[in-house]
Amino acid sequence: MLGVVKNEWNKHDCIMSLFSREGSMKIRSDFSAVIRQAREAKGLQQEALATLLGVSPDTIRNWEKERSTPSLSIRPLLEQALEISLQEGDEQKAQSDTHPLQAEHQDAKRTSFSPMRWMIGDENRRRMLNRVHFLWIKGVLNAILSQSTLIGVGLQEQPLALEYSWQAEEQATARLPQHYPAGTSIVQVYDTAEGELLILGEPGAGKTTLLLELTNVLLERARHNELHPIPVVFHLSSWTEKRLPLIEWLLEELQQKYQVPYALGAAWIADDRLILLLDGLDEIAVAHQPTCILEMNRYREEHALVSVVVCCRSASYFEQTGRFQLKKAVEIQPLLLRQINQYLTSAGKPLAGLRAALRTDPVLREVVATPLMLSACAMVYHNKTQKEIALRGDQEEWRRSILEQYVTLAWQRGSRASPSYSAERVTSLLAWLARQMRAHGQTEFYLERLQPDWLEEKKAHMLYQKWVARILLCISFFIQATLFACFRGDTEPDVPGLFFWLGSSAHGNTILGWMAPGVGGGLGGGGSLGLIIFVVQALAGFFVEQKGSTQTLLGAILHNLFGALRVSLLIGSGTALLVIAVLALVQKSLTYGIQHGIGIGIYAGLSFGLIWLIGRGDGREKPVYVLKRSLGDRLLDTVLYFLSGFCGMFWWYALQAGSPEGNPFRAALCVGVGLAVMWGPTTMTERLIKAGIIIQPAEVSRWNWSSMARNIMPGIKRGMVLGAAIALPTIVVLVIMSSLFNNFSYAWRYGLIYGLIVGCMNGIAALLTSLLNSGWHSDMMPDPHQLTQPNEGIHRSYKHALFAAGVFAPIGGIISGIGCGICFWLAGVPGWFFLMVGLGVVSGIGLALQFWNAYGGRAWIEHYLLRWFLWRKDDVPQRCREYLDEAVRRTLLRKMGAGYMFSHQLFQDYFAKQ
């Protein structure tokens, strides 16, 4: 918890340092003359300097004629190349009047804060460049280039799309539209705009392709010039969910998408070391786009010279009122009829019908005026006659028809699909996926990142959470009841008894010596010990889940003390009455029912009270999601928990006894009824089970010895305090309870020994879990792109859960067994060695369940149950991965490592409307 708080403070400090940062450094007034004189002094032509800096010669000419100023991203390179300073106040005269020692100090100070510290040897920079290249160039741009033939597009300046800050007469001049010459690249436009560019265009016009082509060039510049800022692509669709200030959003995106620590990301942003390449503004709801643009403009007020490129659909941008404060805006022009004819003619006779249709249908000509739709039409109308192509309708109808035929054709071309992968089923899956990705602001889909809020109906989400709780509790109750069956022998004095399978020759429960009578009230020594271990295991589960400090847990105990007493009385009396009634009917003896019912009721009250004491928190933190259960839910839970406890107790008891008749049935009935009453109708399920809200698979894990070492003493303190806090009330309750059925001399010794055992085992559990929680760290992989196979994260989570259970649980079992053995040895119990081994085995198995659940096993269950719910609603097929891969083979999706994305935003929009 302290680590989390510290991380949040670091994040807060990083963000506040950025918000408090002063505006960009001002450039000296005579910068144009300084640049020209320094260039000429070095004998460099404008073209040579432009090549050295990676800009166009026009940019150099604009600087020297004061038409524009060098951006902050290029200024360090320019200063280094010409050996000058462009910062305001760095005139030569000021330096000549300074004392030599003072000048040397100022030079050192300037160097220490210079961007030169980001130069050669910066491993973080190199890794970031590689990640951007891997994700966007290798993962997206190369896929686009391999699947289609690029068609050169025209560009037109759109000054009306921007909000200008210079003088009115200059603004009026800038508002005159201007066509760029044919063949002008987006890189040339970017250089002319000095890195401040808005790219507009129709759907399918090639905005993302141009952005990634620019990214590729900027990556090359950054590799060759260590002072060049790092180009980073961000997708604005993820801004929709939280709508954070831009700096906070950038920090989150850097951490989540590129695994950049907050401190490093904050330093890069503060020093203007990034070029922001923003795609997908149109994927933000129109109502929120002005807010996003406002956040961008606010950011640029603090970072005025940072290079920023934004892409957006033209119609979406002009529908809203916000305007960017950038230097240039260009719009991708529709393809010329000459370009369209040239493209179709090159394909020959198969597209003759399409050429004829274009000559007679002006609406179709407008539709195919983008590269994507032209290539789609060429595929859809291959070998079609003009008559077959004919369609009456507007552009939207044409576009929908073309995409629909494209999807249909995708199932007819290429390799033949398996009959199980029906086009209808894959189309249904893609439609659901497109809606969910749009609703959650995602451009990539990872199967292991499915979350419960992808269930579209709130009712389904609540039902899912109820079944997560039921499954987890049923598994726990079955295993705990099976372990409880190990403590048989109270009613079978003439057969091998407690832990006989470990080699003990004692019959019945005689292995317990003077403690064999047990607490009384129908519970002998074996049953009493079993119930105590059951309480210990239940509490250990909460220690594994609770990662708070000792003070927090003590606060929870004090806060819940009176509530625990009240609940103990209610549950204890209710359980006792029900067990008495059931056993009286089964055995046809009220006396038998009373003898066994009272003891079971007291133990039920004790265990439930202790669980309530620890598990409900200190009252300060409200539940994230309170599960509401109807009467029908409570009845169903009661039945399920009864069956879990009954079956778990019955099978192992009967196997040990050699027969299912008699005692196995009665014992299983008592355990099943007790669990059903304790957990079925009560509110503990609603308050204590926090599963089914957010699935957090343990995709990565690591061990930190130094962190564990720092927590040894706090962990020991935590174990001792909590062990004592649990031991004291247990001793009091057991002494009082045993006094009702035995003499006081026996009662206080019995209560003391078992109270110490309960305190010892819980203290050990608290210590062990404290050390493990501080040393063992498992979490979701920060970068899902590192996953290579779909659903790999869930498989990793399962393996990490098995590792945690297989390694740490035996340690806890051994320590707990030794502690219990010492207590029994000090008490003079003759079978202390077999009790030590047996309790070590039982404790180890119980802890294995808790560790498996807490360190990845729960996420594994939640994930597959969620997929079952989605399959049941006909949203997702059972073999979801195979269907998604089939969509990739049909070019409807694109695969990126373990993730999937639609081959184009138009296809996502099309499927979202299905």
Element (H, E) at 328: strand 328-332
- Is 225's pLDDT higher than 70? yes
Higher-pLDDT residue of 723, 175: 723
Whether 275 has a pLDDT exceeding 90, the answer reads: yes
Length of the chain (residues): 914
CA distances from 108 to 28, 73, 98, 105, 899 (A): 20, 22, 14, 5, 48
Q: Are 596 and 586 in contact (CB under 8 A)?
A: no
Distances (CA, A) of 831 to 336, 523, 761, 843: 95, 19, 19, 18
pLDDT, mean of residues 750-772: 81
Q: What is the DSSP letter of 856?
A: I
Asked whether residue 146 carries a pLDDT value surpassing 50, the answer given is: yes
pLDDT value, residue 550: 56
Looking at per-residue pLDDT, the higher value among 750 and 539 belongs to 750
Using 50, 70 and 90 to split pLDDT, how confident is the model at 8? very low
Residue linked to tokens 């119980």: 846
- Residue 647 is predicted with a pLDDT of 94
Relative orientation angle of helices 262-270 and 246-258, to the nearest 10 degrees: 130
Could you give the 3-state DSSP secondary structure of residue 724? helix
Q: What digits encode the pLDDT tens for the residues 825-856?
A: 888 888 888 888 888 888 889 888 888 988 88
Distance CA 82, CA 34 (A): 9
Return the closest-CA partner of residue 209 out of 156, 254, 147: 147
Residue at 342: amino acid letter: Q
Residue 6: pLDDT over 50: no
* The pLDDT of residue 493: 66
What is the DSSP secondary-structure string of 4-20?
HHHHHHHHHHHHHHHHT
pLDDT computed for residue 15 by the predictor: 47
pLDDT value at 253 more than 90: no
pLDDT digit string (tens) for 779-830? 676 556 667 688 888 888 888 889 888 888 888 888 888 888 888 888 888 8
- Asked if residue 490 has pLDDT above 70, the reply is no
Q: What number is the average pLDDT over the span 140-152? A: 73
Average pLDDT over residues 200-212: 89
- Comparing 235-244, 381-390, 420-429, 596-605, the range with the smallest average pLDDT is 596-605
Q: How confident is the model at residue 116, as a pLDDT?
A: 42
| Residue 266 to residues 6, 260, 262, Cα–Cα distance (Å) | 16, 9, 6
Instruction: State the average pLDDT over residues 471-484.
Output: 90
pLDDT value at residue 614: 59
Q: Give residue 180's pLDDT.
A: 86
CA–CA dist 454, 433 (Å, integer): 10
pLDDT at residue 643 in the model: 94
Residue 673 is predicted with a pLDDT of 82
Distance, CA of 68 to CA of 61 (rounded, Å): 9
Query: Taking residues 373-381, what's their average pLDDT?
Result: 85
d(CA 813, CA 840): 5
Whether residue 19 has pLDDT greater than 90 = no
Beta bridge partners of 201: 313
Q: How far apart are CA 340 and CA 151, in angstroms?
A: 9
Q: What is the pLDDT of residue 2?
A: 35
Cα 787–790–796 angle (5° rounding)?
Answer: 60
Of residues 331 and 419, which shows the higher confidence score?
331
- Over range 572-576, report the average pLDDT: 78
Least confident of 29-43, 47-61, 876-890: 47-61
3-state per-residue secondary structure call for 161-181: HECCCCCHHHHHHHCCCEECC
Domain 31-99 part of CATH 1.10.260.40: yes
Query: Is pLDDT of 20 > 60?
Result: no
In angstroms, the CA 78 to CA 854 distance is 56
Confidence grade of residue 545 (pLDDT, cut at 50, 70, 90): low
Instruction: Please tell me the distance from the alpha carbon of residue 428 to that of residue 197, in angstroms, as a whole number.
Output: 39
**According to the model, what pLDDT value does residue 5 have?**
37
**pLDDT classification of 99: cutoffs 50, 70, 90:** very low
Mean pLDDT value of segment 40-56 = 75
DSSP per position, 610-622: HHHHHHT--SSSP
Mean pLDDT of 38-50: 78
Q: What residue type is assigned to position 379 of the chain?
A: M
User: 260-287 b/e with 16+ CB inside 10 Å = b?
Assistant: bbbebbbbbbbbbbbbbbbbbbbbbeee
Q: Is the pLDDT of residue 95 over 50?
A: no
| 100-109, 534-543, 727-736, 871-880, range with greatest mean pLDDT | 871-880
Range scoring the smallest mean pLDDT among 19-33, 309-323, 561-575, 724-738 = 19-33
Domains of the chain by residue range: 31-99, 126-333, 458-508+522-870
Closest CA to 646 of 658, 664, 634, 661: 664
- 617-658: per-residue pLDDT in tens? 554 454 444 567 788 888 999 999 999 999 998 888 888 777
Entry pTM: 0.71
| pLDDT bucket at 555, cuts 50 / 70 / 90 | low
The yes or no reply on domain 126-333 and CATH 3.40.50 is yes
- Helix, strand, or coil (residue 457): coil
Ordered DSSP codes for 49-107: HHHHHTS-HHHHHHHHTTSS---TTTHHHHHHHHT---BTT--HHHHHTS-HHHHHHHH
In this prediction, residue 211 has a pLDDT band, given cuts at 50, 70 and 90, of very high
What integer pLDDT is reported at residue 646 of this predicted model? 92
CA distance from start to end of the chain: 45
- Average pLDDT score over the chain: 78
CA distance 194 to 324: 15
> pLDDT tens digits, residue range 277-307?
999 888 887 888 888 998 888 888 888 878 9
Q: Is residue 376 scored above 90 in pLDDT?
A: no
Which two three-digit tokens encode residue 277? 């390449």
